[in-house]
Chain A
Amino acid sequence: MNAVETFQKDFEALDRAGGPLQRLRRAGWDRFAAHGIPTTREEAWRFTDLAPLARQPFDLGRPSTNGIGSPPSLAPGLVFVDGHYRKDLSVLPDGVHVSSLAGALREDPRLMEGVGAPGEGEPFVALNTAFLEDGAFLRVAKGSRLPAPLHLLFLGTTKAAHPRNLYLIEEGAEATVVETYASAGDTPHLTNAVSDIRVGPGASLAHYRLQVEGPSFHFGAVRARVGKGARFVSNNVVSGGALTRNDITGSLDGEGAHCTLNGLYVIRGTQHVDNFTRLEHRMPRCESHELYKGVLDGRASGVFTGRIHVFEDAQKTDAYQASANLLLTDTATVDSQPQLEIYADDVKCSHGSTVGQLDKDALFYLRSRGLPEAAARHVLVRAFAGDVADRLEIQAVRERVDRILSERLGG
């Protein structure tokens, strides 16, 4: 059985259970089935070959109470294994309206209506919707503020996991959410996660996404709709996975909305990371700032696509995008492409993209001051990654990124 046949078998089994989500799931499946696993003939997948995924079947992860080694945790928070909430491993923070999505759907089966539908060209969101069961649900009520960052840990074993997260940040509310994706072992698994986000008028959400999995296939979609005068910050850090594709979308839906996309990936060996970001400027006077950086060692390959779509009504748009990549070897590769589509005439849009290697003169300078080669390289890589790393406002996350940089450069 190949991957698609396995998905179909598991979808049909889930479909037989029926329930209030059946219609949405079927819509997801139909859309996925019509598209299939994307190929490199598709523009949006040109540099990411999914043939290895198509050949490798992963059975659907089911709720379990199996023991998990020692998960790398940023607790307290919610823990999910193979996409399902694990009450026994979780520590719910006090005074926060957070639960599993499965639990929230039991109370309100219509919760995902209007937010859950996959769009055109989102085959993995469609697949996730076909298997929509569980994930994290957060509601931050109007005018209130989450007292501390909410930590969510998603652990994969050997299965296919399709966690679906929904964050509703209501008018004037503030929150920080940290999603960490990790592996329970060192076997391959599939993660296909989707986070649907609503940031209400004047509200603010800082969203962190740390992907430190083992040899997984990882698909991550973040779909944020940002309201009038609201702020959304996405911090997307990748060091894990055999093959990773992230689709990060910020839709600036209300006047004066503000969106920041920070990205950092540090990969080696034969790891592949494809970050596809989309900023949709739909209304006037919105701002977006985007900075993506990659550090690639070994034969690793990276792809960055930065699409900025400025709609006709979005006058006075201010959009800035930069991507920079550091290749530590001659065998690492990067494809970086900005895609600007601008239909308004009074806008400020700029972008820049660089790919380079470590500066030999700087390396010699550091070594002449006593730093051994590995340490000198580390200093320069940290300096390169620094402007993204230093934007990570949570100290624990920043430290984690520093650890990743140290580990990655050690070997």
Chain B
Amino acid sequence: MKDRKPLLEIRNLRARIDEKPILNGIDLVIGPGEVHAIMGPNGSGKSTLANVLAGREGYEVTDGTVTFLGKDLLGLEPDKRAGEGVFLAFQYPVEIPGVNNSYFLRAGLNAIRQYRGMEPLDAVDFLKLAKEKARLLDVDDAFLSRAVNAGFSGGEKKRNEIFQMAVLEPRLAVLDETDSGLDIDALKIVAHGVNSLRSPERGFLVITHYQRLLNHIVPDFVHVLDKGRIVRSGGKELALELEEKGYSWLEKEPAGAR
């Protein structure tokens, strides 16, 4: 049996933005190889959770702990979190005109390698790796020579996120509403990419509003987030139940009920 030490342990996490509490005591443990889905209505705190994990500015953690592979994640700068193996696939990937995708990714990968005490990859080795990952994900090589997300369609941007994830090979990938704005074909491509990266060592936290994505990325666990707390957890069937009932039942059950 492989080591079951958790990848990520979130204990009583509370966070706010501009004095407004958004996360009100989250507890969540993700083990290696597990895919957890977080669902919930708009404003329930889903994206806040993703951003707090990645270390975005403007979110103030007021209580609780986040431990990643035994280390205090919240004390680390965003780039060090990436170095430790955390990856956030953005809900709104940022366009950076003037920075070539390939340069951007190589700089990121080499910064992470340096953080881990590994030798940097030279341009030739990097290109080989990037092309191999592109092939794996059915992504056009031309991606590499374009500016980062500049002028990309919504689908291309999300595919670029998954492509970056494939190159950076994180231990934990947080997918923040990766399905938003995608048509069914684009969604299938993205889901295929994610599935091809599933492995016994890697954990996923898939944040989504809709059950649809979870038909293609089948989770091991589903959690329902409401008003900054996980109000229900279950297996993949919970997602189907939500699809059927919507989120309106949340209003009727007392918060915190499991």
Residues of A within 8 A of B (CB): 359-362, 364-373, 375-376, 379-380, 382-384, 386-387
Contacts and interface: CB of A to CB of B under 8 A. Distances in A.
* Closest 8 pairs (CB-CB, A-B): A383-B98, A369-B108, A370-B112, A370-B82, A370-B111, A367-B78, A365-B94, A370-B108
Given A365-B94, A367-B55, A371-B107, 6 more contacts: A359-B96, A364-B57, A367-B78, A368-B55, A368-B90, A371-B79
A370 B56 contact: no
B83 interface: yes
Contacts of A383: 96-99
25 contacts: A359-B94, A362-B94, A364-B56, A365-B90, A366-B96, A366-B104, A366-B108, A367-B77, A367-B78, A367-B79, A368-B79, A368-B81, A368-B87, A368-B88, A369-B111, A370-B79, A370-B111, A370-B115, A372-B79, A373-B77, A375-B111, A380-B96, A383-B98, A384-B98, A387-B98
Interface residues of B, number: 30
Most chain B CB within a 10 A radius of its CB, from A369, A376, A379: A369
Contacts of B8: none
B109 A370 contact: yes
A365 B107 CA distance: 13
B93 interface: yes
Given A365-B93, A366-B104, A372 B111 contact: yes
Contacts of B54: 364, 368
Contacts of B87: 368
A371 B111 CA distance: 6
Nearest to A384: B98
A56 B103 CA distance: 47
Contacts of B109: 370
B99 A379 contact: yes
Nearest to B89: A368
Given A360-B57, A369-B168, A370-B112, A379 B94 contact: no
A359 B96 CA distance: 9
B57 to A, nearest CB: 7
Nearest to B114: A370
A364 B51 CA distance: 10
B77 A365 contact: no
Nearest to A360: B57
Per DSSP, chain A at the interface is: helix
A345 to B, nearest CB: 36
Contacts of A386: 98
Given A361-B94, A387-B98, A369 B77 contact: no
B105 interface: yes
B86 to A, nearest CB: 8
A39 to B, nearest CB: 40
Contacts of A361: 94
A220 B176 CA distance: 53
A387 B98 CA distance: 8
Contacts of B90: 365, 368
Contacts of B83: 370
B236 to A, nearest CB: 28
B97 A368 contact: no
A235 to B, nearest CB: 18
B164 interface: yes
B175 to A, nearest CB: 13
Contacts of A368: 54-56, 78-79, 81-82, 87-88, 90
Nearest to A385: B98
Nearest to B164: A369
A373 B94 contact: no
Interface string B19-53: 00000000000000000000000000000000000
Nearest to B96: A362
Interface in B86-134: 87-88, 90, 93-94, 96-99, 103-105, 107-109, 111-112, 115
Most chain A CB within a 10 A radius of its CB, from B56, B78, B83, B168: B78
Contacts of B97: 383
B109 to A, nearest CB: 7
Nearest to A371: B111
Contacts of B107: 366, 369-371, 375, 379
B74 to A, nearest CB: 15
A405 to B, nearest CB: 13
Contacts of A359: 94, 96
A369 B81 CA distance: 9
A142 to B, nearest CB: 41
A406 to B, nearest CB: 14
B115 A379 contact: no
B96 A367 contact: no
A371 B96 contact: no
Nearest to B86: A368
Contacts of B105: 369
Nearest to A378: B107
Contacts of A372: 77, 79, 111
B38 to A, nearest CB: 19
Contact of A365 (B55, B81, B96, B112): B96
Interface string B134-168: 00000000000000000000000000000010001
A82 B87 CA distance: 56
A379 B104 contact: yes
Most chain A CB within a 10 A radius of its CB, from B88, B96, B168: B96
Contacts of A364: 54, 56-57, 78, 94
Contact of B79 (A373, A382, A387): A373
B106 to A, nearest CB: 10
Contacts of A370: 79, 82-83, 107-109, 111-112, 115, 168
A280 to B, nearest CB: 32
Nearest to B110: A370
